[in-house]
Amino acid sequence: MWSAARHGLARWIRREGVELRKPSTDRAKPMQPLPAEQTQARRFGKARSARSTAVLEDYVELISDLLGTTGEARPTDIARRLGVSHPTAIDTIARLKREDLVTARPYRGVFLTEKGETLAKRVRARHRLVVDVLLALGVPQEAAEADAEGIEHHVSDVTLKAFAEFIRDAKDRRKA
């Protein structure tokens, strides 16, 4: 059966006049050499750490938003807004407590410590900067907000500084 299918394909190619070419080797980019083991391990370790930190940052940012708008941040509200189960939210809140980012009071919800407030402000500023860069590049508002949620946790301070300069230069060009 496979040979009949191949034969039918060959007839179709001849009938349609399709020209089959081998991919040009001059267009193929040479493979980059691997970085040194320590360099690569450091990069992967940094990415793993960023993923772990991203969860904490999302929680702290949301808790700050909830406290600012409703006056309380209950684990059930946090779980629903982050799309996680209640036990997952409880476990992560326990981790936030161990990191001294939040305190929890029975029947009163979760509150940010001074350290948590500082982190929330930093995360919010970073989020806003990433959104501003995406908007300046022409990304629609809704997509920029959604994409910033993933990008904001994985950019280095060097990249954030470059983003800030890019936005400042873009504003200066608009004024001129």
Model pLDDT for residues 24-76, shown as the tens digit of each residue: 555 666 678 887 888 878 877 776 666 778 899 999 999 999 999 999 999 99
User: What confidence tens digit (pLDDT) does each residue in 106-120 have?
Assistant: 888 999 999 999 999
CATH of 118-175, picked from 3.30.60.50, 3.40.50.720, 1.10.60.10, 1.10.287.110, is: 1.10.60.10
Beta strands, E only, the chain:
102-105, 109-112
Other Cβ atoms closer than 10 A to 52: 11
CA distance 6 to 3: 5
Average model confidence (pLDDT) across the chain = 85
* Domain locations along the chain: 45-117, 118-175
Triad 86, 115, 144: Cα angle to 5° = 65
Tell me what pLDDT residue 3 has: 52
What CATH fold (topology level) applies to the domain 45-117? Answer: Arc Repressor Mutant, subunit A (1.10.10)
Instruction: Say whether pLDDT at 123 is over 50.
Output: yes
Sorting pLDDT into bands at 50, 70 and 90, what band is 156? confident
User: Can you tell me which residue has the tokens 């940094």?
Assistant: 46
Distances in Å between the Cα of 162 and the Cα atoms of 68, 126, 127, 140 are 30, 12, 15, 21
Residue 1 in this model has a pLDDT that exceeds 50:
no
Is the pLDDT confidence value at 105 over 80? Answer: yes
Maximal CA-CA distance, the chain = 77
Q: Of residues 155 and 63, which shows the higher confidence score?
A: 63
pLDDT of residue 126: 94
> What pLDDT score does 174 carry?
78
Tell me what pLDDT residue 77 has: 96
Give pLDDT, residue 13: 61
- Say what the pLDDT of residue 80 is: 97
CA 84, CA 164: separation in Å to the nearest integer?
33
Entry pTM: 0.69
Whether the per-residue pLDDT at 8 is higher than 50: the answer is yes
What pLDDT, on a 0 to 100 scale, did the predictor assign at position 10?
61
- Report which of residues 88 and 174 the model is more confident about: 88
